[in-house]
A and B are shown apart, each in its own frame.
Chain A
């Protein structure tokens, strides 16, 4: 089978992650869908690194993981502090910045 299929799989996973971000209301689930999108991108990177025979793709995937970890830390801290004040974990409840 053509290793290109990994790319298609990555595209599908990314799409599903985007769908989750747009559909779900719980902040944690949205965050997890974002993680899914990041992982799908990582898969694509690794596939490309295999395609080109260079390890640069893996390095980038590595850095993506680092940044994703940092982002998860901060993002969850934000969710917790929002939850403490508002007692709600729904992203729709943080809607005061409106007309």
Chain B
């Protein structure tokens, strides 16, 4: 069976990343053999760690899909971190503010609110870009960075749960918590919804007219406009979708895993979403195995930290190295007109003439 070249390259990169992670572990850890064992086998030790690994992949799948939605339109959402975090907080607050709602209503409402918040945050950047050519990379990042700080403040301050040792909000009522499907791990039923979303996104992108138009705008915006596609729409819509996915990721993390908004719980979800999208070759279905892989690496690192006394930053370093390798291995050839900023061609063309 011949493996297509692109996938072979991806595989090689992943392998290289794992090897490098291994090397770093051996070099840095005090007890290398133990660290290595736990790094690679840790997640499979028992149902708890295995289920948790799967569970941690779920928000990654969502952020990965969010990045795919934007990348396919050649729009860049660098504000994932803030969108996830803010979405998580809003979802928590809704549950806390309306404890008497029936379970399903609260879940739906809070997830919808989280999605909405993320969508608005990213959508603002998209709007600024469509209307005034404001660089959306910078604006999305700046807004998100500010949002993270503000949410940090809110959690540590007015919304802090005095009863808990953590810097976190109070926990949401148990009726709002998603069903655990692999106890004692925290893998929840949300995974089914996320898988469904991946399929829906795939169908949207590749089998509908709107998805086609979005991809055309990503390939060549001038051509898209020339062909009668509303380019302005596809500057904002992908950002809105992207932010929505990120916000949803935040909400689902709360309702499925943490049950309260802990300060800094979501650090890295945004950036890792980008890596996951890349490993998944910018395809919603590819994001699923990519997120699983990433989650595996993270779970392995955590196991090494827990059982082999490795420090937390090392795990972050391993992830960062992997991120670098992933981006640098030329997987990106299919991102339209890679490399220079100039590839985006002429300024975005607005949908309406003005007198």
Q: Do A and B bind each other?
A: no
Chain B residues near A (Cβ < 8 Å): none
